[in-house]
Amino acid sequence: MNVVELIRTKRDGGHLDSAQIHALIESYTAGDVPDYQMSAFLMASFLNGMSDDEAVALTDAMLASGERIDLSSVPGIKVDKHSTGGVGDKVSLILAPLVASCGIPVPMISGRGLGHTGGTLDKLESIPGFSTDMDSKAYREQLERIGIVMIGQTEDIAPADRKLYALRDVTGTVEFIPFITASIMSKKLAEGCDALVLDVKFGSGAFKSEEASAITLAEKLVAIGERFGKKTVAWMTDMSSPLGHAIGNWPEMEESIACLRGKDVPDLMEVTLMLAAEMIVLGGKSETIKSATEIAQRAIS
């Protein structure tokens, strides 16, 4: 592999095949390609674009860089949810235990804050002594035992993504949609879920503020999920104002716990029940969104 030739190809608006992208990512993860060359590749791709096939190959290469967790020992259809994030977005904190209580295993690799948006891990870790750090064995055992597990990205899960994200952050290429989709989906494919519900947010409180850009992101995420054989559904939700009343890690935990105990926070629970219903359908516990919503409402009450 000639890294300079790959950079030139992208600089000139050309396309790379799957083998070239895999070789580049494997070599970068191993430390054989320096940051300055990968930075050039990132910017050339950012400026000239990537095809859908290139984005799929990038996702696959990042996935192949680490462990792919096997959850076949866990009975049932494993369903996860991922949000692109927003101010006051505490949906996962309510949604995951709610759906698990309906008999659907929920494996979830969550993230930290991105820009001005809050991260689920940061909120969970505001609970004294709460740890989101566990290996794949403990991850699988907890899912088998209680039907839900929420952890952060480990060193063994998509290590290429960890290196690339740090580089994207300092090269101004974070918001490039093919990079976003590869980053999200490489982790989601590694975690062992069978189906995925995406909550792609737009508006002033979201990572992607423009609705048109958020729609494109949603379409690309769903397409990659389907290419890898995962049933993937995306919902678009408006984050022009915070969900619920609380903002901040611990206040959002308190509000989430109150909602699980039956407190009605209309805007927050509307989104939560909508996504829960989709997960319940994907998990095979209901055939329609209407009946799935009723199942979720009974569980929360």
Catalytic residue among 78, 81, 82, 162: 82
Whether 11 sits among the annotated catalytic residues: the reply is no
* Mean pLDDT to the nearest integer, 33-40: 98
Catalytic residue among 92, 183, 256, 286: 183
pLDDT at 160 over 90: yes
**In the CATH scheme, what architecture does the domain 3-49 have?**
Up-down Bundle (1.20)
pLDDT of amino acid 194: 96
pLDDT digit string, tens, across residues 195-234: 999 999 998 877 677 889 999 999 999 999 999 999 999 9
Whether 133 sits among the annotated catalytic residues: the reply is no
Give the relative orientation of helices 35-48 and 159-171 as an angle to the nearest 10 degrees: 70
Catalytic residue among 187, 188, 201, 220: 187
pLDDT of amino acid 243: 86
Distances (CA, A) of 49 to 19, 94, 150, 219: 18, 37, 34, 16
User: 79-300 belongs to which CATH class?
Assistant: alpha beta
pLDDT of amino acid 118: 65
* Mean pLDDT to the nearest integer, 151-158: 89
Catalytic residue among 89, 161, 194, 199: 161
Banded model confidence at residue 278, pLDDT cuts 50, 70, 90: very high
Whether 15 sits among the annotated catalytic residues: the reply is no
pLDDT of amino acid 130: 87
pLDDT digit string, tens, across residues 92-150: 999 999 999 999 999 998 877 665 566 888 888 889 988 888 899 999 999 999 999 99
* Mean pLDDT to the nearest integer, 183-206: 93
Whether 264 sits among the annotated catalytic residues: the reply is no
Of the candidates 10, 12, 72, 14, the one whose C-alpha atom is nearest the C-alpha of residue 39 is 10
Whether 187 sits among the annotated catalytic residues: the reply is yes
Catalytic residue among 10, 168, 201, 220: 168
Residue ranges per domain, the chain?
A: 3-49, 79-300
Banded model confidence at residue 86, pLDDT cuts 50, 70, 90: confident
pLDDT at 25 over 80: yes
Q: Is 85 exposed, middle or buried (0-12, 13-18, 19+ CB in 10 A)?
A: buried
Q: Could you tell me if 76 and 209 are in contact, meaning their C-beta atoms sit under 8 angstroms apart?
A: no
